[in-house]
Amino acid sequence: MGDSMPDEDTREAQNRTGLLWADPRTPFTWRGWSFGADVLRFGGNESPYPPPQELVDAIAAASDRMNRYPFGMETSLVEALGARLGCSPEQVMIAPGSSALLEAVIKGLGGPGREVIYPDSSYPAYRGAATAVMAQSRPVPLRPDGTCDIEGIAAACTDRTSLVIVCNPNNPTGGMAPTKELRPLIEALPAGALLMIDEAYWEFTEEYAQGGRGALDYLECGRPVLVTRTFSKFYGLAGLRVGYGVASSEIAGELHARLRLGGSNIVGLVAAEAALGLTDVFAERAERIKAERERLAQAFGDLGFEPLPTQANFVFCPHTDDDLPARLMAAGHWVRDGRSVQMPGGMRVTVGNPDENDQLLAAIRAIAC
């Protein structure tokens, strides 16, 4: 799944009602942040490229329907996704970001006395969603290379486990566990537990480039499996919040009923369908991002930051100066501070366009060298 919040303070937070926040990090407000040229954004795992004109035209054509709720408008997008993914439309769910699917799942499967297992460190929403419904969190440490420890996750399952989450590639590290390694975990699932596989960065992986289907191969395995993906990363629609999940028709029907009525918006639905028709355009952009990803990783290695192997649109460096992210922000370059994802001393950098990356590297060298 993708990022929706920037770095947050690690001090214990308390609001004026006296209610302690379940997550120890302070809520963050975007107010005052600039979307202008004075801040280069390397912290949100967004696409550095603006939407193609065809996509802008499709959005403009839908603008005269914004006075209506989007009831029934999912149908066309669901059918298009089913055709592209090789599954029936009844297996596809649309949500306002894949995080909404996580919330729907956790509300149905979480609660006191139930366990949620997830990789650590990974997308912070996993821990937050489990805590919100008072489920027991069971974080499983990553492998040293930043990939999910599939064997460790399987070993952590108990008869109280109701939800198991795998983030693949993992955020914030970028490590990709081969999809074939998921089978032993599926076979180890306790009765009644659901395996949710978060593939928000799937289209940047080697398996995708080689024509693989990722975790969709397990939809007919006879066990409860949900695959979540998003239009925010590869398709560059982060600002419109459109995600989707694929599961068996039974699971999909149950989750669809739990999603907020009309949660997706008309502009997002139209844009997502138009983006599917431009997949070749976005695939070419992804190749540029991957080339820049390798260039950044090489440069970070030369600086001694020891970047982890990544198959996402970002690079994680576990060994940087703790103050480097803040000093870069002061210089107009927002990167993700590792402390915000429970990996102190690290830094996550979203891949920008070549000019942006050149500016970032120059700023890092001026500060760190």
Domain boundaries, the chain: 40-49+280-368, 53-276
Of 251, 234, 237, the closest CA to residue 163 belongs to: 251
Do 40 and 236 contact (CB within 8 A), yes or no?
Answer: no
Whether pLDDT at 304 is above 50: yes
* Partners of 347 in beta bridges: 317, 337
Q: How far apart are CA 286 and CA 273, in angstroms?
A: 19
280: Cβ–Cβ under 8 A, 6 or more apart, which residues? none
Domain 40-49+280-368 has CATH 3.90.1150.10: yes
Band (5; pLDDT cuts 50, 70, 90): very low
Whether omega for the bond prior to residue 27 falls within 30 degrees of 0, making it cis, is: no
Distance from first CA to last CA of the chain, Å, rounded?
A: 34
Q: Where are the beta strands (DSSP E) in the chain?
A: 40-42, 92-95, 115-120, 136-141, 161-167, 194-198, 225-230, 243-246, 314-317, 333-337, 347-350
The predicted structure's pLDDT at residue 12: 43
Q: How far apart are CA 54 and CA 276, in angstroms?
A: 12
Q: What is the CB neighbour count within 10 angstroms for residue 193?
A: 22
Tokens 């006879």 correspond to 222
Q: What is the CB neighbour count within 10 angstroms for residue 365?
A: 12
Quick one: 272 exposed, middle or buried, by C-beta within 10 A (0-12, 13-18, 19+)?
Answer: buried
Q: How far apart are CA 43 and CA 39, in angstroms?
A: 11
Classify 53-276 by CATH class.
Answer: alpha beta
Whether pLDDT at 21 is above 70: no
Per-residue pLDDT reduced to its tens digit, 221-269: 888 999 999 999 999 999 999 999 999 988 888 887 777 655 788 999 9
**Which token pair is 98?**
């894949």
Quick one: 12 exposed, middle or buried, by C-beta within 10 A (0-12, 13-18, 19+)?
Answer: exposed
Q: What is the CB neighbour count within 10 angstroms for residue 17?
A: 6
Band (111; pLDDT cuts 50, 70, 90): confident
Query: Which CA distances in Å does 263 have to 26, 102, 250, 268, 337?
Result: 27, 14, 21, 11, 31
Whether pLDDT at 1 is above 60: no
Compute the average pLDDT of residues 142-152: 97
pTM of the full predicted structure? 0.89
Whether pLDDT at 16 is above 90: no
Whether pLDDT at 20 is above 70: no
Do 193 and 161 contact (CB within 8 A), yes or no?
Answer: yes
Whether pLDDT at 150 is above 70: yes
Q: How far apart are CA 184 and CA 152, in angstroms?
A: 11
Compute the average pLDDT of residues 310-316: 98
Per-residue pLDDT reduced to its tens digit, 113-122: 899 999 999 9
The predicted structure's pLDDT at residue 87: 94
Q: How far apart are CA 243 and CA 256, in angstroms?
A: 13
Do 129 and 121 contact (CB within 8 A), yes or no?
Answer: no
Q: What residue type is assigned to position 340 of the chain?
A: S
Same fold, 40-49+280-368 and 53-276: no
DSSP state at residue 58: H
Task: State the Cα angle at 202 between 328 and 8, rounded to 5°.
Answer: 35
